[in-house]
Chains A and B, each alone.
Chain A
Amino acid sequence: MMPASGFGGAGGANLALKRSSAGPPKKLVIKPFKEKPKLPADFEERTWAKLKEAVTAVHAKQPVACSLEELYRAVEDLCVHKLGSSLYARLQQVCDVHIAARLRSLQGRAADPVIFLSLMDAIWQDHCSQMLTIRSIFLYLDRTYVIQTSGVRSLWDLGLQLFRTHLESGSEISRKVVAGLLSLLEKERQGEAVDRILMKNLLRMFTSLQMYTDYFEKPFLERTTSFYATEGVRYMQQTDVPEYLLHCDTRFQEESERCAHYLDPATRKALISVVERELLERHTQAILEKGFAALMAAHRLPDLKRMHTLFARVGRLDLMKAALSDYIKKTGKDLIMDEEKDADMVNLLLESKLKLDTILVESFSRNETFGNAIKDSFEHFINLRANRPAELIAKFIDAKLRTGNKGTSEEELEMTLDRVLTLFRYIQGKDVFEAFYKKDLAKRLLLGKSASIDAERSMITKLKTECGSQFTNKLEGMFKDIDLSKDFMSSFRTSSTARTELPTGIEMNIHVLTQGYWPTYAPVEVNLPHEINKYQDIFREFYLSKHSGRRLNWQNSLAHCVLKTHFDKGVKELSVSLFQTIVLMLFNTSDRLSFQHIHEATGIEDKELRRTLQSLACGKVRVLTKEPKGREVADTDEFIFHSQLNEKLYRIKVNSIQLKETIEENAATTEKVFQDRQYQIDAAVVRVMKTRKTLSHTLLISELFKQLQFPIRPADLKKRIESLIDREYLERDKANPKVYNYLA
């Protein structure tokens, strides 16, 4: 009303004055129409014609005549006037016709799959973009009529539905599309490069049309199955196992990638399981049979690891575990049973165990069941050969603990002993080991051959942890005896008796052994030199004065001496056994002696004497010479003191025989173990029967198996039971001969 000018107050006022003279504000009245305005009769037709023209243009990829806004308005108009449903129907019809025509155009076209697919793709892309445009035009319809009316699809969905209907009905087309896709897939699997984008588009098309699962996925999986089925068989024949496994890995990766790039993610699971089944699961047994042993033997860690991972995928680790067990049992058995390898057996076993442990960690990811399989298999084969492995392990440890073991650091030794102990754990007849270990330990202690007392004690501790204190009781007793003897000897030497009565010119160190702890030694009677006798008697008196009620037996076979010997070239100290000493001391009185004379004078048993003489006269260091020459000692031989002996060292060792183990010793030890076992069986039977009073045969046998720590056969048990029946410890029940009664 009033111009808001800024001219000067006067000017504004003038204008204002002018206007205000117009009078009171005019009232503007808007009257409704007298008649409701009617749509023109052909409104719908004309509007539709406009729209139809537009749609057709879109379909024909021609520019649209009217502006999009005008078209939009036209739709809005129709909808507002409740002409939405007929509009929808007309639109549907136009689209229907168009889509049908387009798809039909594909029929009989292009034999080449790629071209065909490209055409299909083009049609689809067109459809999508065209529907989008149409939808924008008809947006109002979509937002109002469609939403308000139930059962009516949105325009986009309508388009999809029409497309699908026509695609399905022209079954040849959809089949051709699928076939084309599958053939491209196969090409890609064979290694050719294909148009992934094309494939992706078409597959997305199928997904949008909800035809993916039925039309594509099913034949896809079938084709994949047969592809990999044949490939699996072919590759198994042509390649070796590591290559095959690598190929499997590659394929898995490829197919995963394929899913990521163009296949529908939903297919992934089914696809992978098909590949797993065809390439792997079918061939697991064959793979194991063909190549597992070779991989193990060649220590192929990465290949084994791959195998483990792949087999885990198809859940067939149980087969692999079985193959592992068989492999270990077989190779182990060969190792154990090969008698010629005895000398090396422990080393080979340690090596083999180490290799397996490495494989377990590196390739099998410390899988617990596999670890157990290794353990069980080891236990199985190591016990196939009774006694010998136990003996060899004891000998191995002996060699490690003896002096002369240069070059092994303390840690290395500890580690080796630990590993040997693991082997020991698997052995069932541990009493055999104990017997040999004890024997060797005794020798080491008495002859001063232990490399390190710490190492010895550490070994005992390990055994104690392993088998309990009962096992190591006696062994510890042996150590105690040595220590006690040392203390006793020092008190003996400082005692007045020693200082006054002992013969001069001789020094002795005496170990007092408690009989129960040490291996049993058969006492050997010999004629000892006078000085030694005297010394022994004085010692005995002294000892018995301190410990009354005990009995001392001299073990001559275990003693060793250092003899100061005068040769032409000078004085030497000879480190010799007692027997050797006795023989040599005879030569104090005469330079030349016959075998018979020596035999009589020393009182040494025949076989032992021959051995002793051999060691003095026929070995590396010849303190005596034998006439006639030769290795064997005959009754008529004569021995001469070899005064011209020429050796560089001051102290010479001629005492190798005591340390070496004779075959008889060996057999004796084993025999003793068996005897001991018999006593143990007898004791166990009596013990069980005493508690139970009456027991059936089968129950008795099972009870004995539980109690006895070493491997036994039922036949052996039977024999002991019969012996006990004979000795009237038990009887058979009069009513039922299968039952035994305890006889008090």
Chain B
Amino acid sequence: TRAEFPAGLETLGLDSVDKLKEQLPQMRRSLQTDEGVFSEVYRYAFGFATEKGQKSLALDTAFAMWRLLFDDGKWPLLDHWCDFLTEHHNKAISRDTWNQLLEFSKSIKPDLCNYDAEGAWPYLIDEFVEYVQTKNSEIST
């Protein structure tokens, strides 16, 4: 919101455009390096991207946000994820799925070897794992 913007700048101690310009690259870098910052920004992004009063995020918007956040190969399975959603899900994304995806990208290896299907992952992510595994076996055979 408009009110939040200056309040936010104040908290960061920036009171001029130049100072903001200086801070920006640092802030960008912190996104890359600082896990905590990235998590916060990621979670916030959901609320930011949803329309007012909506509980879930439209798929296209979700794609765009993910591409933005996970740019530069931050999460190698991103493309698979988007393909999967387009093919099989085709519906809006819930907040829970959004948040859990971050966890997933952080903790699960790209080859999915440490994924526990009995665990507390959302059903959509279970299906995604199945999808990738089927694809992989198709490629290898």
Pair from one complex = yes
- Residue positions of A touching B, CB distance < 8 A: 696-698, 701, 714-715, 718-719, 722, 725-726, 732, 737-740
Instruction: Please indicate the chain B residues that have their CB under 8 angstroms from the CB of A701 in the complex.
Output: 118
B96 contacts A725, CB within 8 Å? yes
Q: List the A side residues contacting B126 at CB < 8 Å.
A: 715, 718
Q: Which residue of B lies closest to A722 (CB)?
A: B122
The minimal Cβ–Cβ distance linking A718 to chain B, given in whole angstroms, is 5
Which residue of chain B lies nearest to A716 when distances are taken between CB atoms in the complex? B123
Closest to A696 in B: B120
CA distance A719 to B121 in the complex (A): 10
Chain B residues with CB under 8 A of A738: 119-120
Q: How far is the CA of A78 from the CA of B55 in the complex (A)?
A: 128
The answer, yes or no, to whether B99 is at the interface (CB within 8 Å) is yes
In the complex with contacts A715-B123, A718-B126, A726-B55, A698-B96 CB distance below 8 A = no
Name which of B100, B118, B120, B126 has the most chain A CB atoms within 10 A of its CB: B120
Decide: A737 near B103, CB < 8 A? Known: A718-B123, A722-B94, A722-B96: yes
Bound Cα distance from A697 to B55, whole angstroms: 24
Q: B118 contacts A698, CB within 8 Å?
A: yes
A718→B129 CA distance, assembly (Å): 15
Closest to A700 in B: B120
A718 proximity list for chain B (CB < 8 A): 122-123, 126
Residues of A within 8 A of B119 (CB): 697-698, 738
Q: How far is the CA of A740 from the CA of B119 in the complex (A)?
A: 12
Interface of A is mostly: helix
Contact A737 B120 (CB under 8 A): yes
Interface residues, chain B, CB within 8 Å of chain A?
55, 94-97, 99-100, 103, 118-120, 122-123, 126
Contacts of B120 in A (CB 8 A): 696-698, 732, 737-740
Residue of B94, B96, B97, B118 most packed against chain A (CB within 10 A) = B96
CA distance A696 to B120 in the complex (A): 8
23 contacts between A and B (CB under 8 A): A697-B119, A697-B120, A698-B118, A701-B118, A715-B123, A715-B126, A718-B122, A718-B123, A722-B96, A722-B122, A722-B123, A725-B94, A725-B96, A726-B94, A726-B95, A732-B96, A732-B100, A732-B120, A737-B100, A737-B120, A738-B120, A739-B120, A740-B120
Q: What is the bound-complex CA distance between A143 and B55, given in angstroms?
A: 117
Q: Which residue on chain B has the smallest CB distance to residue A730?
A: B96
Also in contact, A719 and B123, with CB within 8 A (given A698-B118, A714-B118, A726-B94): yes
Cα–Cα distance between A696 and B126 once the two chains are bound (Å): 18
Contacts of B103 in A (CB 8 A): 737
Which residue on chain B has the smallest CB distance to residue A736?
B120
Given the complex of chains A and B, what is the CA–CA distance between A715 and B119 in angstroms? 11
| Complex Cα spacing A732 to B43, Å | 14
**How many Å lie between the Cα of A726 and that of B120 in the bound state?**
15
Please give the distance in Å from B88's CB to the nearest CB on chain A: 15
- A723 to B, closest residue via Cβ: B94
Q: Please name all residues of chain B whose beta carbon is closer than 8 Å to the beta carbon of A737 when the two chains form the complex.
A: 99-100, 103, 120
Cα–Cα, bound, A739→B100 (Å): 13
What residue in chain A is nearest B104 (Cβ atoms)? A737
Give the interface centre of B99, B123, B126 by most chain A CB atoms within 10 Å: B123
Whether A726 contacts B123 by the Cβ 8 Å rule is no
Q: A698-B120, A722-B122 are in contact. List 4 more A-B contacts (CB 8 A).
A: A718-B122, A722-B97, A726-B96, A738-B120
